[in-house]
Amino acid sequence: MKVLAYLGIGLAAILAGCSSTGPRVLERADNLGSAPDWVQVTRPSFEDDGKKYFLGYIEVDGDASKSAALNMADEKALSEPMRSLVDQFLDQNQVGEDVRNDAAVGSRILSATRSFRPPMPTLTIVNRYWEKVQETERYSKLRAFALAEISVPEFERTKREVFLKLSGNHQLKAILDDVGKKQRENVLGNTVKND
């Protein structure tokens, strides 16, 4: 009877260990006890004390090189300000949602804006963090984060430059005209159906 009781307790312990809720952090940068406050994928950009911050985040296989993963996160963080400005421009032209829902249009816009990346001398990486996470018994992931910082005045100056440049981009204008035409056709089509 005692043997069965021990087996039951052992089985319960095994099941409890297997039914953990979510991934388990195996290792963190600098042996930190938890992730820094700025590491929040739900907050890809924020403003604080006259500076604008952009988060770069990637996940790779757990055995990948930490320095390579951090370099990729750096690149992502440094490209976020331009992506943010293009998104704002599209929203201002009332096509942002349609573009985000249509991958083909989104890739055309990326192609049209790829050649223009204005200088942002104060845009720098100010923080980096990584953590290795156990996803399943046999699989782990390496998460890498980088935080880029730029002064608000410089970001606003860059925004004006980008909007001016994008407004004069003939390829982008043609794409926006196509999206606008489709939007008008959808509105007219829905109006006819409702009448």
At 102, the pLDDT band (50, 70, 90 cuts) reads low
**pLDDT of the residue at 4:** 46
41 CB-near residues (< 8 Å, 6+ apart): 55, 57
Question: What is the rounded CA–CA span in Å between residue 119 and residue 112?
Answer: 18
Identify whether the C-beta of residue 96 lies closer than 8 Å to the C-beta of residue 113.
no
Q: Supply the DSSP string of 23-87, one letter for each residue.
A: -EEEEEGGG-SS--TT--TT-SEEEETTEEEEEEEEEEETTS-HHHHHHHHHHHHHHHHHHHHHH
Backbone angles phi, psi at 168, to 5 degrees: -95, 0
- pLDDT over 70 percentage in the chain: 71
Q: How far is CA 164 from the centre of its chain?
A: 25
**pLDDT of the residue at 181:** 77
What is the Cα Rg of the chain in Å? 24
pLDDT tens string 4-57: 444 444 444 444 444 455 689 999 998 888 999 999 999 999 999 999 999 999
Every domain of the chain and the residues it spans: 21-175
Q: Which residue has the tokens 């100056």?
A: 157
